Amino acid sequence: MKLHRRPRAEREGQQSSHSDCRPCERFWTGSSPHRERGQHTAGPMEPPSGPASRRHVPWNRLLLAVALLSFWPPPTTARLTVDTVPPLAAEGSIVVFNILGKEGLVLGYGWFRGNRVDRAAAIDVYQILNNSFTPGPANTGRETIKPNGSLIIQSVQKRDSGTYTVVTVKADLTNVSASGDLQVYSLLQQPSIQVSDPMDRDKENKVVITCNTNETDISIKWIFNGQYIKAAKNIFLSEDGKKLTIDPIKKENAGKYQCEIFNIGTSNRSGIFELKVKKSSLFDLTTGTVVGILVVTSVCLGLIAALVYFLFFK
């Protein structure tokens, strides 16, 4: 039987149309564009048992998501790093996870919550060629991937604290991963001061100043005239630091008092309470002091009387 050759232009046109799909076919199936018809070889992006029908799956974002979420073999971590900016962020701020140390042609990025690289932890997948995104189950609507692969989280919350992992899919069918950490702290509400008796204080009495706050996981410091104070002979702090007791009150204790609360990332101060100490008077003196004064006065009066008698009556 005589074989008829097709025109060269027709053969080249058909060959060209097939070659355009071969990079996609090779990426998704792991097969070589030069393999024998009917032969199927597992590649890095799928288990050896993958179905042969995937050889003709089109290039689209859904398949990229599947590829990123079904790594075979697991990704390596060579040279790739994640830089978190800032690593310690206040609630409501913006955080960026930058990818450093990228090498070669990258086809896509996948971001995951925690150290897990699976579908349940997927935040978002970005396909560079199609400029398309596939959000995952861990996406809250506040996460986006930039064209350079960086992950941005808007209005971070305390629950966003933790580890984030990125996987890059390269053109040579290798996958590289890296992780970065984020810690989010709450902005503290201003505390208030409560005083056992806000009136002017007499010396030798006592006063209790309380720092009121509903914040948790905090430390408390006390401030006197702009300087941090510690316990002293007549200054006592409660175990949790919320109460400052001055007993007895001394003249040098008069001044402005504040409490300051702080956590790992921020602090806030209360308003000012000014402690006023009354000037000393006879009524402020202790019984012993009054008795001493009376004794001295009596002695002085006796001496004066004796002197007068000696001068005028002797």
Q: pLDDT digits over 262-298, tens only?
A: 998 889 999 999 999 886 544 455 566 656 666 667 7
- Dist. CA 96–CA 105, nearest whole Å: 22
Give me the mean pLDDT over the 296-313 stretch: 67
**Tens digits of per-residue pLDDT, 195-209?**
987 565 665 688 999
Quote the pTM value.
0.59
pLDDT at 3 over 50: no
What domains can be seen in the chain, in order of their start residue?
81-185 (2.60.40.10), 195-281 (2.60.40.10)
Average pLDDT, the chain: 76
Question: For the residues of 172-241, what is the DSSP string, one character each?
Answer: TS-EEEEEEEEEEEPPPPPPEEEES--SPBPTT--EEEEEE----S-EEEEEETTEEE---SSEEE-TTS
- Residue type at 227 in one-letter notation: Q
Band of the pLDDT at 153, cuts 50, 70, 90? very high
